[in-house]
Chain A
Amino acid sequence: MIETTLKSTQTMDIPNELIAKIDETVARYPVSKRSATLPLLHLFQEHFGFISPEAVEWIANRLELKPINVLELVTFYPMFREKPAGRFHIRVCRTLSCAMAGSYELKKELARLAGIEDETCSNGSHGESISRSPDGRFSIEFVECLASCGTGPVCMINDDFYEAVTPAKAAEIINSCQ
């Protein structure tokens, strides 16, 4: 077990800047390193695009935890994924006010524009909620309330946030993803 851990950890290529960020992040939790698990998972997902089994082991080693303590967070918190998303990951708000403003139609339209054929596999169940375009450029999923109910329907593309997204605006947004 220890051997595999060491081996897989060695296979992770972690750049020095990321190591520095990790160290700085862990220092924010002087009482318990375990508190840094979620922030470290964010750093890994931002850098690698998803959370691999090697990442889980690396984080566990760094924080002196068992890998299951890390994996259980990956499977609990909807934002973490164990497979890569597209280069442009689209999150459409599914919840009531946005749905009344047309978010189901918006999701279909965004998927069509992004060349994602089967957008329906993303129905909220955890684990495999993301649909991807064949070229890997786009992926899409429904997410729950993005807290901008007054300007629905809303969506996010990676970290960027878009409000009152009409079909015309959707086309503009997708075209700007280069």
Chain B
Amino acid sequence: MSKIQYTRKPHPREHRIIFRNIDRADWDPSIETYLADGGYNELKKAFTMKATDIVAEVKTSGLRGRGGAGFAAGVKWGFIRPDNTKPVYLICNADESEPGTFKDRYIIHQDPHQLLEGMIISCFAVNARLAYIYIRGEFPQGAHILEKAIAEAKAKGFLGKNILDSGFDCEIYVHRGAGAYICGEETGLIESLEGKRAYPRIKPPYFPAALGLYMCPTIVNNVETLCHVKHIIRMGGAEYAKIGTPNNTGTRILCVSGDVQRPGYYEVEVGSLTMGELLNDLCGGPKPGRKFKAIIPGGSSAKVFRADERFKIKTKGPDGSQSERELGVMDLPMDFDTLAAAGSMAGSGGVIVMDNSRDMAWVLNNINAFYAHESCGQCTPCREGSLWMRKITDRIVSGAGLPDDADILKSVADNIAGKTICAFGEACSWPTQSFLSKFKEEFIRN
């Protein structure tokens, strides 16, 4: 193994695959540096494989989407009908904007060719000849770096016509968003890429793999997910699946922010450590004299946990037998399935921590202001409800709360979730619902 010097040393519990080159001394985003490090070898390897075999490897790897929903990437790719005759498009979702999440930024800025290589392999696998990187508008430097990387890759023959004499043509373009969170939702993103307001489409029938960009089959994957594809080709799907835990394979980048001593990004094997190990060992625990109070485990739309909460988690043993374990928050393994079983989600990997100095009504009000600002306005329950929730928490925080505000808040949230076209309805209701069920006393003020 080559010895890598880091300007900021990874924690010994980390297993860096995607972030291997982040904060690395003597590293820059140029193609020369990338090639000197064995870059684009996996693309060459991919061209020796059949496209269907690449899809099969990704399925075998068990890779789940790193954007938020945790859906199996290989299965998503497999949704394109085998008898499809329309053009296929691939879109990289680089609209990183779920509060608490800050991983794609570093990949784009420091290792853009890793993303491009993952994308070109993925394009070959799903037979997409045209791909877009939808990058959020607030990353102008990131967009510039990607443009430069694309030009470099093209000059070296990794993009364009007849790539590496494979007969495969592929173009990638950067498309900048303009500050709307809803563009992270894949059908909203597609509408935005078509030059429209980013109103999400209703599913069914508008599943992107069937009716996506320009009503053609379209694969939308997160930046981190596409980077993993490169490493699945390098290791093989079966080998990759040995990393992490069954059904929660690979590594993922956990982003920790808020009230811990060492906030930051940590790439770990999925499920290899518990919440307590993450927050205490890697992040150095709470600030001096403070105690953890609440944790949002997967981006601001994930349901909040109390730091003293306990759960009964059903787990499946290797022999398929069911057992039930009682676990505290700090004992929860940080994987997709356990966090879902505990009533929240691994989401985008953004862990936001609040300590006992925080007023939970103030915290929720901040989150509500975000969702009120970002609702696209298409569905009435969300457009109106997100604003009402913000107004109510606003008045609670300002000291003008009414006696039954907690109940009104809950009823507004309950009337949004499940009643909208896209998952933003849930995303904006879950914080309010969970904050009220777990910290209700802080919302009743005289």
* A13 on the B face (CB < 8 A): no
* B192 on the A face (CB < 8 A): yes
Judging by beta carbons under 8 Å apart, are B370 and A79 in contact?
Answer: no
* B138 on the A face (CB < 8 A): yes
Judging by beta carbons under 8 Å apart, are B354 and A100 in contact?
Answer: yes
**A95-B366 in contact given A42-B176, A77-B180, A79-B137 (Cβ < 8 Å):** yes
Chain A, residue nearest B104 (CB): A147
Interface bin, chain A: 35 or more
Give the distance in Å from the alpha carbon of A150 to the alpha carbon of B259 in the complex: 10
* B350 on the A face (CB < 8 A): yes
Contact of B102 among A30, A73, A147, A156 (CB under 8 A): A147
A156 smallest CB distance to B (angstroms): 7
Give the distance in Å from the alpha carbon of A150 to the alpha carbon of B358 in the complex: 18
Judging by beta carbons under 8 Å apart, are A96 and B179 in contact?
Answer: no
Chain A binding site: helix, strand, loop or mixed by DSSP? Answer: mixed
A78 smallest CB distance to B (angstroms): 4
**Chain B residues within an 8 Å CB radius of A41:** 178
Contact of B257 among A42, A143, A152 (CB under 8 A): A152
Judging by beta carbons under 8 Å apart, are A148 and B105 in contact?
Answer: yes
> In this complex, which of B100, B130, B138, B363 has the most chain A Cβ atoms within 10 angstroms of its Cβ?
B138
Give the distance in Å from the alpha carbon of A140 to the alpha carbon of B96 in the complex: 23
A26 smallest CB distance to B (angstroms): 11
A152 smallest CB distance to B (angstroms): 7
**A77-B374 in contact given A152-B257, A156-B138 (Cβ < 8 Å):** no
**A96-B178 in contact given A149-B255, A149-B257, A150-B102 (Cβ < 8 Å):** no
**Chain B residues within an 8 Å CB radius of A73:** 178, 195-197
Judging by beta carbons under 8 Å apart, are A147 and B264 in contact?
Answer: no
Judging by beta carbons under 8 Å apart, are B369 and A124 in contact?
Answer: yes
Contact of A34 among B100, B195, B256, B372 (CB under 8 A): B195
**A150-B177 in contact given A96-B300, A96-B370 (Cβ < 8 Å):** no
**Chain B residues within an 8 Å CB radius of A132:** none
* B346 on the A face (CB < 8 A): no
A-B interface pairs (CB < 8 A), number: 141
* A85 on the B face (CB < 8 A): no
**Chain A residues within an 8 Å CB radius of B96:** 147
Judging by beta carbons under 8 Å apart, are A39 and B100 in contact?
Answer: no
**Chain A residues within an 8 Å CB radius of B259:** 100
Judging by beta carbons under 8 Å apart, are B180 and A76 in contact?
Answer: yes
Judging by beta carbons under 8 Å apart, are A149 and B97 in contact?
Answer: no
Judging by beta carbons under 8 Å apart, are B366 and A124 in contact?
Answer: no
Chain B, residue nearest A146 (CB): B138
CB within 8 Å of A: which of B307-356?
Answer: 350, 352, 354
**Chain A residues within an 8 Å CB radius of B87:** 31
Judging by beta carbons under 8 Å apart, are B256 and A150 in contact?
Answer: yes
Binary contact readout B177-189 vs A (1 if CB under 8 angstroms, 0 otherwise): 1111100000000
CB within 8 Å of B: which of A21-55?
Answer: 28, 30-32, 34-39, 41-42
Binary contact readout B281-315 vs A (1 if CB under 8 angstroms, 0 otherwise): 00000000000000000001000000000000000
B193 smallest CB distance to A (angstroms): 6
Chain B, residue nearest A161 (CB): B141
Binary contact readout A82-114 vs B (1 if CB under 8 angstroms, 0 otherwise): 000000000100111101100000000000000
* A80 on the B face (CB < 8 A): yes
**A31-B214 in contact given A97-B352, A99-B366, A147-B102 (Cβ < 8 Å):** yes
Judging by beta carbons under 8 Å apart, are A78 and B370 in contact?
Answer: no
Judging by beta carbons under 8 Å apart, are B363 and A32 in contact?
Answer: no
Chain A, residue nearest B137 (CB): A79
* B194 on the A face (CB < 8 A): yes
Judging by beta carbons under 8 Å apart, are A72 and B197 in contact?
Answer: yes
> In this complex, which of B105, B175, B178 has the most chain A Cβ atoms within 10 angstroms of its Cβ?
B178
* A159 on the B face (CB < 8 A): yes
Give the distance in Å from the alpha carbon of A42 to the alpha carbon of B96 in the complex: 19
Q: Could you write out 24 A-B pairs with CB less than 8 Å apart?
A: A35-B193, A36-B195, A41-B178, A69-B195, A73-B195, A77-B178, A79-B137, A79-B138, A94-B369, A94-B370, A96-B366, A96-B370, A97-B257, A97-B263, A99-B366, A144-B99, A147-B102, A147-B136, A149-B99, A149-B257, A149-B350, A150-B102, A150-B257, A156-B138
Given contact pairs A36-B195, A145-B181, A147-B105, enumerate 4 new A-B contacts (beta carbons under 8 Å). A31-B130, A95-B366, A144-B374, A151-B263
Which B residues are closer than 8 A to A by beta carbons?
87, 96-102, 104-105, 130, 136-141, 173, 175-181, 192-198, 213-214, 255-259, 263-265, 300, 350, 352, 354, 358, 363, 366-367, 369-370, 372-374, 376
